[in-house]
Every structure is written in structure tokens, then in C-alpha cells.
Chain A
Amino acid sequence: SQQGEEDPQALSIQEGENATMNCSYKTSINNLQWYRQNSGRGLVHLILIRSNEREKHSGRLRVTLDTSKKSSSLLITASRAADTASYFCATDYSSASKIIFGSGTRLSIRP
């Protein structure tokens, strides 16, 4: 099934630094969502951005969407050790509300 690509696959940064993850997708979308998954656990919904939106903020998170380039980015500012997790973008492109996940970025925050 269609799947977005994320880069980098893995990212290791120092605590306090900003982390940026990118997501590219293939077809037109209704919205794009970002999720966090701690190791071996369920998913936590972070933020949803609709196709007619370009930028959205939520606390230390900033998401951008460029539908002309079919890409999105997730910025986490002032990273903390608790941000260590895998981050996935997911695109809603159908009328059935089903979403397809990207390949994910594994983020490690060094103390």
C-alpha cells in the first residue's frame, strides 16, 4: 500500500537542540498527521494539518505542509530526553478516512 517516506531514518541530537523530521508522500491528501511511538508501545497523536493549511503549532511542535511538493516537516524545539521515540507521519488520502503511515524517524535525545 502507499506509504510516505521520512527522513532521516534516525536522528540523534543533544538535549535542548531542535529536531526536524521530514515526510514526503505520493498522492493528494485530505490531511496529514504526525504520531509518536515510544519503544514497543502504542501511538500518540501529536498534530493534524489539513490540506488547506500551511503551518500549525502545538506547544514545542511546529508542523509545515507544502502540498505542491507533497511534503511536510515536524520541528520539535528545545528537545528533552522524553522526546526520544519514533515519529511517524500519516496521510489521509481517501474518502474512507484510512491513513497510511510513513516509514518513521527514530529520534534519540542525548542528555
Chain B
Amino acid sequence: GAVVSQHPSWVICKSGTSVKIECRSLDFQATTMFWYRQFPKQSLMLMATSNEGSKATYEQGVEKDKFLINHASLTLSTLTVTSAHPEDSSFYICSATPWERGQETQYFGPGTRLLVL
């Protein structure tokens, strides 16, 4: 149980285009999902907290107009990288916490590797 999927697993795009990444909780409902970014040989940096039915909360330094987050249902959050540039190339990982109270563990998706040419 507690599986989180991401789609696509990798994407290559041209500079200036927008890319949408999906994060789904497959066997549980998640009121909260998190989006992280990881550059090569670095740690995961929290980008934003995605709450179902409300606006996402962005961490300091993350441009909300560039990284659009939509949490339309209890099992789906999407991250859209708008007008992508080469410096946006990174590994994007989402995580989800189950609806049930007391659940402290986050379940992570397998990640999406983005390469912007």
C-alpha cells in the first residue's frame, strides 16, 4: 500500500515551453502533497506544499508564477513548469501524506527528470 506515482518519469523539452508533471496517490487519499526539486549530487529542496482545494504554499525563493501547482482532487497534484529554461533542468519529486490522522510518514513518488534544451 501507500504508492505514489509520477508521470512522466522523464521529459525533454525546448526552452520556452511548459511542462506538466503529475503526482498521484494510487491507493490512498492525500489532503497534502509536497513538491521537491533535486539538482545533481545535492539534497532535496522543498518547493511547495499542495493542499487539496486551496492554493499551494510556496517556500521562500520559489516563483509561484513559474511553478504552477494544482491539487484538484485527493489523489492528484500537478506541477507545471512554465516557460522552462535550461536552469530548470532538475529531478522533481513529489510526496503525499495519507488522509488518516496520525500518519507522519510521507510517501514519495519515483521522480521526474526534466531536461530543458
A interface vs B, CB < 8 Å?
1, 3, 30-31, 33, 35, 40-43, 45, 48, 50, 88, 92, 96-104, 106
Q: Which residue of A lies closest to B113 (CB)?
A: A40
* Assembled-state Cα–Cα distance A103/B43 (Å): 5
The interface residues of chain A lying within 8 Å CB-to-CB of B34 are 98-99
Q: Which residue of B lies closest to A30 (CB)?
A: B104
Q: Which residue of B lies closest to A104 (CB)?
A: B43
Q: Identify 30 residue pairs between A and B in the complex whose beta-carbon atoms are under 8 Å apart, listed by A's number.
A: A1-B45, A1-B59, A3-B43, A40-B91, A40-B113, A41-B110, A41-B111, A42-B108, A42-B110, A43-B44, A43-B95, A45-B105, A45-B108, A48-B104, A48-B105, A88-B44, A96-B32, A96-B57, A97-B104, A97-B106, A98-B34, A98-B49, A100-B46, A101-B36, A101-B43, A101-B44, A101-B45, A101-B46, A102-B43, A104-B42
